[in-house]
Amino acid sequence: MRIKHLLAVASMGAAMVVAVAPPASAATGYDRCPSLRMCVFTGPNGSGAIAYFANGDANLGDSVGPVGMNNDIESIWNRSGHTWELFDGVGYSGTRWVSHPYVGHNNVIAAAANRVSSLRDT
Ligand SMILES: [Ca+2]
């Protein structure tokens, strides 16, 4: 029983490390964003936690895909090469904002800050 408990804790600890560990390059800020991805950050100017997407996420509040980003996106870098849509509702609903490619990284507009709940490649 004791062994089982320790294994469960160790496993959870390992998963948490994977989720928050920076890349091996120890990049910071916007530089953490891989090419060909849509990157979103919980803080302004590429600070805070990062999540990145190839296709999108219909619900940032569920456990499918990155977690901890729902209503918590303050800056983005669209390196996907495509136009993306961001929404304040889940399932691509509600107020819609558009992110164009090739414009560099930036803070989201004030009206969208900490309000995005779904996003997708168009
Ligand atoms: Ca999700």
CATH topology of domain 24-121: Gamma-B Crystallin; domain 1 (2.60.20)
**121/54 Cα distance (integer angstroms):** 8
Residue 2 CA to ligand 1 center (angstroms) comes to 34
Condensed to tens digits (0 to 9), the pLDDT of residues 23-75 reads: 565 899 999 999 999 999 999 999 999 999 999 999 999 999 999 999 999 99
Closest CA to 57 of 104, 18, 90: 90
Condensed to tens digits (0 to 9), the pLDDT of residues 69-119 reads: 999 999 999 999 999 999 999 999 999 999 999 999 999 999 999 999 999
Residue 28 CA to ligand 1 center (angstroms) comes to 24
Task: Specify the pairing of strand 93-99 against strand 50-53.
Answer: unpaired
Indicate if the pLDDT at residue 4 is higher than 50. yes
Residue 85 is predicted with a pLDDT of 98
